[in-house]
Structure 1
């Protein structure tokens, strides 16, 4: 009994010490939980504030790729390749010589066209001279007609005189004052004058016929040169056009870069004979590159043309942030314009969220400082808050 009392007396103080320790631990736990709750709330508030200030109203996609309106270089005239001055991946400027073709055939064609032009000018000058000669012949035939008419008038006068002489002699033939010989001579003179008159009349007809022939020649000659000059004559103009084409074909034997950019897909070698229209290389204008970002259809509620865009590329990493703006939205999804469009009117239809391409223009200065390449992947974030 004494032992139990001693044990009780000994245990009483121990229980009195354990109760305050557990209360202290509970208080500390509650304090820590309160502090943790406050920290969580503060973090949540800060995150919400950060999201509202920086992320709210922004749509993001990593399905974006760099593109450019590449220029395909093609040969416009056929011929063997004489010289290739660029290599793949080489940067070129607009107007730089890329390829030179052998121009022997084009030079011969140019010489032939120049000769044809000179010949056409010569023919025109000849036709003009022929027209002038025809005019002179018509004028000469007019003078011949005037002379023939004058001879006819003289012949008529001679006939009248001969007729009067014959009539006078015949009136006095019965008196014996005129011999038979004189009467015969008067009759012969009248016949001769009549014949001369008929010949003069025939001369007029002949001169008029000759003038008609000359007038026809004049019309034919004038038809070639009427209303034209040596530069506007059809034959001369056609020859001039052939000459210009020959010069153009000769100039086209030197192929130049149409734009600034990088040479890719070079498919031409020295000695190779290329046909007109054959593609030989592609020039990629990286200075005017753009981005096609494929956003989900559910993200287009606030996307508008002109909105600012931030972009990053794996090529440079997150340290380089490109600034751009939305310049266009495609007229249809990629699936709609694919070679074999999806047929959803079947029994095995499953809804798939579609993506619509958005064209984003980049800052030229940033492209100059950090050039991109076609096909690189990008991450794009459109700020729609200013909508």
Structure 2
């Protein structure tokens, strides 16, 4: 019996050893898990909770669309896609034949307007001289009227005297007849003199009206400020501007993309010829989950990395604004949840991040590239 119990005790001892090791291992694992939880909690409290990050971010830019301002035929195209250009670089030249003709026509119109102003000014001088001449005519007519009035009075008195003497036979019939004729002639001359004064006054009034009308055209103006001259100068300036617009230049620094213009093509105003992407003025639209944005403020620093260069190259920027709506709300076909659909989809709101131009110059990016963005929430 004693001999039979010894193997059972040995087996029991051997089974207790693995159980003891298992408990010890589980204890070690529990301690490690606890340590990891403490470390994670400490990291979250001290570091992680002060940052929010997303890998749903993309490079964007306010591109410049190159469009002609006039209708013309394309004479030459000086750039190609992917070419880097500086502000003011000649991109496209349009045929300037019509524009040059328009400039010549506008210059001729300006010269004509200036000449017409000079002619109008000279006409005023001539009309002023005519008014003075009409004044002299009036003075002469009035002098003739005074003489005719005197002749009329003398003839009237002479006729009255002879008419008083005629009944006594002191005056012959011939003398009476001559006096009557002289009186009639003097009266006619008087009427003629009065008509002459009236005609001279009327002529002077007409000359004065012409002078006033002509002066109204040039009053308060000079050869440089006359309305007709200013209108002609404006047309000339427009023609010269259209001539300058036959040479299309780059409005900003950047890279040419989507060039769709060819030599010989006739373009209309507003036709999109190409786009220019400003590589030194890029930004990032980072799409954060709505639950991440409660502490995000404008001006907070952002650290970004690009898939193009990897995590070794970091970009630094700042939050400059938030979109007016989520990405799905501005989609071409916005999502519409049907009645009874209780699945809640977490929405993302685009956050605009401005990048450092110096870092962009050192490591250029392109529109549409993927980025990882992390916002430091400790700055308010």
TM range (shorter): 0.7 to 0.9
One of 329, 354, 360 as aligned partner of 1:336: 329
* Match in the other structure for 2:115: 122
Q: What's 2:46 paired with? A: 53
Over 3 Å counting, the alpha-carbon distance change for 1:345 and 1:123 in structure 2 is: farther
- Is residue 241 of structure 2 the alignment partner of residue 237 of structure 1? no
Counterpart for residue 4 of structure 1: none
Closer, same or farther: CA 354–28 of 1 in aligned 2, 3 Å: closer
Q: 2:278 aligns with which of 280, 285, 288?
A: 285
Change (3 A) 1:246 1:187: same
Matched with 1:228 is 221
Aligned residue in 1 for 2:79: 86
Number of the residue aligned with 1:155: 148
- Equivalent position of 1:200 in the other structure: 193
Q: 1:298 aligns with which of 280, 291, 294?
A: 291
- Counterpart among 293, 302, 305 of residue 309 in structure 1: 302
Secondary structure at 1:380 match in 2: strand
SS in 1 for 2:313: strand
CA distance in 1, matches of 2:342, 2:154: 124
After TM superposition, give the deviation of residue 270 of structure 1 in Å.
2.3
Deviations 1:118-155 (A, max 9, x none): 11222222223223323332332232122111210111
Distance 1:219 1:349 in 2: 87
Q: Equivalents in 2 of 1:45, 1:34: separation in Å?
A: 16
User: For residues 196 and 160 of structure 1, what CA distance do their matches in structure 2 show?
Assistant: 12
Q: Partner of 2:185: helix, strand, or coil?
A: helix
Q: CA RMSD in A?
A: 3.2
Question: CA separation of 1:23/1:336 partners in 2, compared to 1, >3 Å: closer, same or farther?
Answer: closer
Q: List alignment gaps of at least 5 residues for structure 1.
A: 1-7
Distance, in Å, in 1 between the alignment partners of 2:194 and 2:231 is 50
Q: TM-score, normalised by structure 1?
A: 0.86
Residue by residue over 1:61-118, the C-alpha shift from the partner in whole angstroms, topping out at 9 and shown as x without a partner, is 1111000000000011122222222121111111111111111110001101111111
Task: Map 1:1-387 onto structure 2 (within 5 A).
Answer: 41-171=34-164, 181-344=174-337, 346-348=339-341, 350-387=343-380
Q: Which runs of 5+ in 2 are unaligned?
A: none
Deviations 1:315-337 (A, max 9, x none): 11000111111111111112222
Q: Which moved more, 1:303-312 or 1:131-140?
A: 131-140
Aligned length: 380
Moved more, 138-147 or 46-55: 46-55
Query: What's the TM-score, normalizing by structure 2?
Result: 0.88
Change (3 A) 1:16 1:330: closer
Deviation readout 1:326-368 (Å, 9 max, x if unpaired): 1111111122223333333534453211111111111121112
